[in-house]
């Protein structure tokens, strides 16, 4: 969840976006079970959930590429746009 907070701050999203993304994250983990999510997939899941939150709460449609660049700046991780779309 710390990663979501860092990305939320980097993208200057509203609190509602962070809360919506965290809610989607929690619901997904509750649905599939935390033991079925690998450590490497947590980053992808966090980015995807925050983007879903942004789609729900932000006045402007979120940009996938900008989120990926923010992730690289904040965490040094790299995710593919296609992986985000697949998980979404």
pTM for the model stands at: 0.83
Q: What are phi and psi of 38, to 5 degrees?
A: -75, 160
| pLDDT one-digit tens code per residue, 56-82 | 998 887 877 888 878 877 777 778 888
Tokens of 81: 């746009």
Tokens of 20: 């919506």
Tokens 């939320």 locate to 8
* DSSP state at residue 60: S
pLDDT at 27: 95
| pLDDT one-digit tens code per residue, 31-52 | 998 888 887 788 889 999 999 9
* DSSP state at residue 88: -
User: Which domains are present in the chain?
Assistant: 2-87 (1.10.472.10)
């Amino acid at each position: 969840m710390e990663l979501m907070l860092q990305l939320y701050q980097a993208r200057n999203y509203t609190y509602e976006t962070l809360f919506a993304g965290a809610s989607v994250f929690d619901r997904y983990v509750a649905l599939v079970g935390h033991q079925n999510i690998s450590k490497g997939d947590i980053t992808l899941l966090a980015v995807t959930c925050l983007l879903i939150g942004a789609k729900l709460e932000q006045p402007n449609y979120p940009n996938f590429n900008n989120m990926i660049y923010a992730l690289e700046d904040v965490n040094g991780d790299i995710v593919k746009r296609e992986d985000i779309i697949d998980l979404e």
